Amino acid sequence: MSRRLSVLACLVTSIVLTVATATPAIAAPPSDWDYIAMGDSYSSGVGTSGQSGSCLRSPNAYPGLWDSANDPASYRMVACSGATTSSLRSGQLSALSTTTDLVSVTIGGNDAGFAETVLTCTLTSDKGCAAKVDEQLELLDEEIPARLDATYREIRAKAPNAKVVVLGYPLLFDVNAPSCGFAGMSIPKRKSLNHGATELNQVTEERVRAAGFTWSDVTDEFAGHGVCGPSPWLHGLTLLPPTDSFHPNGNGHKYGYLAALNSVLH
């Protein structure tokens, strides 16, 4: 063999070996995967049937639906309603290990003051709503990126072999319907809140990609199914239980979040 061919053969062999050793555990079929679902209420299942416990976890949230459809080797739900990056790091990371193959997570909405902002917009004027969203966007620029970076670093440290999928948040509102029902949001308020969600998703996507994780945007799946629209996949203002307010319903988890998770796993 000539020197040139010999060098080429070594190079090809080196590339093959590198690719082979870099292949993550996720390359195995789902039946072999160890799956951990982490995050906040959008992952725990608030808004769906079957919620239980202080974390309001439901088997009908998208992680449970994925588990039922794929029957992985193991599945554990540790997402919790109200979770922030801080509480995730202190209370959920222990579920991860070197054998974890798949992690899904939604996080950041509570750090950005999601509930407080929606409540303010419900009770105040269009101008007051816009001001509250702008206030939270300053926090988003100044503090949230570092919080997300720290969270993603710790997830990777605890689960070095896992495929980590970070899912975003839907735009809550349909902005075309002139009326949004009793105590519903005006169109300017809906646009302000959707703008806030768009900005949060953009910041999150940047940090997800910087961490080397997989980003899954759910806005396409939820398009046309916002609150106030003809076929909403999210609850509007809900009195019983009030925690369901502005969270995905069963269709939102099945056709929105589950579809978004599947889109990056196949």
Q: What is the pLDDT of residues 4-19, one digit of tens each?
A: 434 334 433 343 333 3
pTM of this prediction?
A: 0.88
**In the annotation, is 41 catalytic?**
yes
pLDDT band, residue 139 (cuts 50/70/90) = confident
* Contacts of 152-155 spanning 24+ positions with Cβ under 8 A: 152/207, 152/208, 152/211, 152/213, 153/211, 154/89, 154/93, 155/38, 155/93, 155/96, 155/103, 155/105, 155/213
Helix (H) or strand (E) holding 142: helix 126-142
pLDDT reported for residue 27: 63
**In the annotation, is 44 catalytic?**
no
pLDDT reported for residue 20: 37
pLDDT reported for residue 12: 35
Considering the candidates 225, 235, 247, 253, report the single residue annotated as catalytic.
247
Checking if the pLDDT of 202 tops 90, the result is yes
Sign of the alpha-carbon dihedral angle for 54, 85, 209, 158: negative
Checking if the pLDDT of 23 tops 70, the result is no
Class of domain 28-263: alpha beta
pLDDT reported for residue 233: 98
pLDDT tens digit sequence for 97-110: 999 999 999 999 99
Considering the candidates 41, 58, 81, 245, report the single residue annotated as catalytic.
41
Q: How far is CA 32 from CA 70, 98, 183, 243, 261, in A?
A: 10, 14, 48, 35, 18
